[in-house]
Amino acid sequence: MDNRFSIGFFVALQFLWWDFLDSPLKGYHKAKIWRDKILATVEYLQTESAKWKALFTTLKAPYTLLRAMGFSPQFAGSLLAAGSIAGGGVAVAEVMQPPSFSAGHAGVYNAPLDAPIFFEEKFNTLRLDLGTTPVGLIEITDTTLGTAYTNSTLPSGETNVIIVGGLPTVVDPAFTETFLEVGHLIVDRWRCETLTLSNIEAHELIVSSNVSDGTSIAAVASTPRDRGINGGNRASDMIVTESYYDQMKITAASSGVNGKVDVLRLSNLYSKGGGCKLDRIKAGTLEITLNEIGGDSDLATKAFVIEDTVEYKSMLSTANYEVEMAVPAVQ
């Protein structure tokens, strides 16, 4: 094939040379036709090469491809996980595995159930409702929330990215106020534009090594009791890691029924687009440590606020600093 092309090319050059000798103008026009054909072929090949390169680049990043097709981060991750389990071929049963809390799927969950009571592909909020059944451990770590990742928006009408605690009566006149009862609540390594604590009773309150764009700590001494959550045959641990949500809510959503969890660990949560809120919590120990809070680069406005409705029996507040900081970046 290459030899035939080479012979044809040299024969064509020979005919062009004879045309130039016979008539320079005629030879020039024929040479121009050959030139245009060659350049058109080169341009076509370059265009096709760029398309193939883009295709192979996309195929090397399947997660990006699935997100570009409109799948949520959790669903895209599930597809890839199913594909890896199937060893190169995605089995239908594996791809269509039902959504679950343990797999990091968004939805509305009634603790301690692992399956959601509400799930929809376009619904990307993680809402966990705690009730009469106590849970030993709930752990949510290494998670990105709000508008901190590409193409994400907060749910309509919402201003907070992270909400942890009970619910007030004002939500519904027929609704009786609820609290979240926690033996040990750990809030560490959060990145929030604002963090507000209100209506909290903590036997031991630890506020340590936080950096904020303006701080106001007005907690008051009182007599909250120490507590741990028992209950005998408690529910299984509920653990989520490395997920993406537009919003996260951990609440006590049943009228007059406090949610109960012995250890609630929320670590390395990266958020953007709204505030973080802890409200209506009764805790044995509440730790607020190693968080970065702020986004308006103005120390006069307080990004980290512990209101005077927060009561403690003992309090440790140490190594907290104020530093101007911009809004969190999009990941």
pLDDT per position as a tens digit, 270-279: 999 999 999 9
For residues 38 and 133, state if they share a domain. Answer: no
Average pLDDT over residues 183-203: 98
Give the model's pLDDT for residue 93. Answer: 41
Average pLDDT over residues 309-328: 97
Residue 246 binned pLDDT confidence (cut-offs 50, 70, 90): very high
Question: Does residue 81 belong to any structural domain of this protein?
Answer: no
Question: Does residue 98 belong to any structural domain of this protein?
Answer: no
pLDDT over 70 for what percent of the chain? 74
Average pLDDT over residues 158-162: 97
Q: How far is CA 109 from CA 28, 34, 39, 128, 252, in A?
A: 78, 70, 62, 5, 12
- Neighbour tally for 132: CB within 10 Å: 10
* Number of domains making up the chain: 2
pLDDT per position as a tens digit, 109-144: 999 899 999 998 889 999 999 988 899 999 999 999
pLDDT per position as a tens digit, 80-94: 555 544 444 443 443
Question: Does residue 159 belong to any structural domain of this protein?
Answer: yes
**298 half-sphere exposure, CB direction, 13 A CA radius:** 5
Question: Does residue 189 belong to any structural domain of this protein?
Answer: yes
Nearest to 144 by CA among 87, 118, 106: 106
For residues 201 and 256, state if they share a domain. Answer: yes
Is the pLDDT reported for residue 247 higher than 90?
A: yes
For residues 16 and 165, state if they share a domain. Answer: no
Give the model's pLDDT for residue 282. Answer: 98
DSSP secondary structure letter of residue 323:
-
Task: Say how far apart CA 66 and CA 76 lie, in whole Å.
Answer: 6
For residues 217 and 290, state if they share a domain. Answer: yes
Which structural domain, as residue segments, surrounds residue 42?
A: 2-60
Secondary structure (DSSP) of 188-200? ES-EES-EEEEEE
Average pLDDT over residues 183-187: 98
For residues 25 and 112, state if they share a domain. Answer: no
Which stretches within the chain are classed as H helix? 2-22, 24-60, 62-68, 73-85, 92-95
The residue ranking higher by pLDDT, 197 or 6, is 197
pLDDT over 90 for what percent of the chain? 61
DSSP E strands in the chain: the ranges are 107-110, 125-129, 135-146, 160-165, 180-188, 191-192, 195-208, 211-212, 215-217, 220-221, 238-241, 244-245, 247-251, 259-272, 275-289, 292-293, 304-306, 310-318, 321-322
Is the pLDDT reported for residue 188 higher than 90?
A: yes
For residues 40 and 111, state if they share a domain. Answer: no
Question: Does residue 88 belong to any structural domain of this protein?
Answer: no
Nearest to 212 by CA among 192, 198, 197: 192
Give the model's pLDDT for residue 202. Answer: 98
For residues 282 and 133, state if they share a domain. Answer: yes
Question: Does residue 143 belong to any structural domain of this protein?
Answer: yes
Residue pair 166/178 in contact (Cβ under 8 Å)? The answer is yes
For residues 161 and 285, state if they share a domain. Answer: yes
For residues 216 and 276, state if they share a domain. Answer: yes
**Three-class SS of residue 236?**
coil
For residues 122 and 209, state if they share a domain. Answer: yes
Question: Does residue 315 belong to any structural domain of this protein?
Answer: yes
Task: Say how far apart CA 41 and CA 92 lie, in whole Å.
Answer: 44
